[in-house]
Amino acid sequence: ARYIAKNVVAAGLASRCTVQLAYAIGVAEPVSVLIDTHGTGTIDDERIADIVRENFTLTPKAIIETLDLR
């Protein structure tokens, strides 16, 4: 989540960002992606969440590979 928040800020979409991801057992994709820019977003938080879903693969396997956790 921190990696995503840093990318949102680096992209200029907000100056502050909190990302919350919720997963369910047996479901690879998150069941919820919540973005809170604390009022600093240049666009709506829900639109940023849509952009995150489109541009980041949020399966556990992809996160492990992206962050080189193995």
* Residues whose CB is less than 8 angstroms from the CB of residue 37 and which lie 6 or more positions away in sequence, other chains included: 8, 13, 14, 15, 16, 17, 18, 45, 48
pLDDT value at position 20?
Answer: 98
Per-residue pLDDT reduced to its tens digit, 26-58? 999 999 999 999 999 999 999 999 999 999 999
Task: Output DSSP code: residue 14.
Answer: -
Q: Which CATH number fits domain 2-66: 3.30.300.10, 3.40.50.300, 3.10.20.30, 2.30.40.10?
A: 3.30.300.10
Q: What is the pTM of this model?
A: 0.88
